[in-house]
Structure 1
């Protein structure tokens, strides 16, 4: 059975997107918004699209959402983009911890986790953080990860 992003548990997505999030000023000019605000607006737009598709199908997927990495053209680009984001923000150790957490909550299968860990070896952590060091992942980062999982599951 193929997993479709439209069938994700949108209550989970919405809950994560709304936790501790200040309301966004949707009337603001793009020039006045920060990159973080634009990212969150994009995430919420994608969640609305997923919800619309879910309402049309009326069914929920089975967990884990991503049982293995797709072999279709372009899937590797999505994987590299996602892992680059996680490693850039949180470093290798925290990225590995996040992926392990996603297995624990059934977003990823053990097989998908192992494949993603293998991809991580292609990245370099050198000079990514400067003096600040890696940051912790927050709720919006996990929502973005779930969106990447949905994209990969749809390929």
Structure 2
């Protein structure tokens, strides 16, 4: 089912671009119209980060609770599925955009050292990595703790796929 732009509330769309309250016209019982002021604020990057953090915590908790035999490395080999391949490419592209290919290669080696990845998974990820060419990469940047949390989130998701 396609999304029809004619079904959008224009006042809501206008308000999405500002942090000012939006006046919306609403109908009351006698077909009279009144103006109501509705607080609409633009979602901030902080709220997106908080939502991502909640998602990561939830997925990691599921990974830890779902398996009493969870040992390191968490992800010894990559699961063989199209879903897993899509997750791998999404993850690596995210990391490359954040800090460039060299920093991601260093991060993968670190993830192997701390036991998030097994040797086979790390080698396979590195082969994928060198196939990614991203001109928008922030080469010179370092990955920060939030980026590593996102990586652990992907490891957890791939680990869950390998158990199915």
TM-score by length of 2: 0.65
Alignment of 1:135-154 (within 5 A): 135-154=141-160
CA 1:135–1:71: 2 relative to 1, 3 Å? same
3-state SS in 1 of match to 2:42? helix
Alignment of 1:14-25 (within 5 A): none
User: What's the counterpart of residue 70 of structure 2?
Assistant: 61
- Return 5+ residue gaps in structure 2 as ranges: 1-39
CA 1:73–1:30: 2 relative to 1, 3 Å? farther
TM-score by length of 1: 0.69
Q: Which has the higher strand share?
A: 2
Aligned residues: 122
CA 1:123–1:50: 2 relative to 1, 3 Å? closer
CA 1:40–1:134: 2 relative to 1, 3 Å? farther
> Is the CA contact (8 Å cut-off) linking 1:40 and 1:140 kept in structure 2?
no
3-state SS in 2 of match to 1:67? coil
Alpha carbon RMSD of aligned pairs, Å?
A: 2.3
Q: Which has the higher helix share?
A: 1
CA 1:102–1:30: 2 relative to 1, 3 Å? farther
User: Which of these two proteins has the greater Rg computed from alpha carbons?
Assistant: 2
CA 1:81–1:127: 2 relative to 1, 3 Å? closer
C-alpha distance in structure 1 between counterparts of 2:63 and 2:96, whole Å: 31
